[in-house]
């Protein structure tokens, strides 16, 4: 049996009942994420604890990246009586508009320890490069562009 230690927990439960969010499935919600550049890749890490890999769907259309995941209830025996259920169940989704400087054709994904990590290469056209220019006396000089 669980002992309640949060004095406001019952108030939260009542609010959930009044708002209609206390059912088995909760409303879809966004998933927390980190995004950063690492060398020549853009990395997106999304928290999806308790989600099985087959319940994760990643799509990209033009420059719109969509991640959907579904946390399903764990199978319980018929004689189990749930006393507390706070972990949200249902569909979680996140949409991101990716910059044109990313190579969306070569996105790689990895799922480990409840974290989905997407690695998106920086497009070659977006990387700094040297441009050769000719000078009046036809001597070549390189400028950083």
Provide the residue range defining the domain that includes 116.
27-74+85-144
Q: How far apart are CA 50 and CA 31, in angstroms?
A: 12
In a domain, 7, yes or no: no
- 32: tokens are 């927390």
What is the CATH number for 70?
2.60.40.790
The pTM assigned to this predicted structure is: 0.67
Residues 103, 120 contacting (CB under 8 angstroms): yes
Among residues 106, 90, 88, the alpha carbon closest in space to that of 98 is found at 106
In a domain, 93, yes or no: yes
In a domain, 4, yes or no: no
In a domain, 5, yes or no: no
pLDDT in tens, 44-100: 999 999 899 999 999 999 889 999 999 888 777 888 888 877 778 888 889 999 998
- Structural domains counted in the chain: 1
- 112: tokens are 């480990």
In a domain, 17, yes or no: no
In a domain, 114, yes or no: yes
In a domain, 108, yes or no: yes
Specify the pLDDT at position 3. 45
């Amino acid at each position: 049996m669980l002992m309640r230690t949060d004095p406001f927990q019952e108030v939260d439960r009542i609010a959930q009942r009044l708002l209609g969010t206390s059912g088995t499935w909760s409303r879809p919600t966004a998933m927390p994420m980190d995004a950063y550049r690492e060398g020549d890749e853009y990395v997106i890490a999304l928290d999806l604890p308790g989600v099985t890999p087959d319940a994760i769907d990643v799509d990209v259309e033009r420059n719109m990246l969509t991640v959907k995941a579904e946390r399903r209830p764990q199978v319980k025996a018929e004689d189990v009586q749930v006393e507390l259920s706070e972990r949200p169940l249902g569909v979680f989704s996140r949409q991101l508009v990716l910059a044109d400087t990313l190579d969306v054709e070569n996105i790689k994904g990895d799922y480990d320890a409840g974290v989905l990590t997407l690695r998106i290469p920086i497009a070659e056209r977006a990387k700094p490069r040297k441009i050769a220019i000719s000078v009046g006396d036809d001597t070549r000089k390189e400028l950083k562009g």
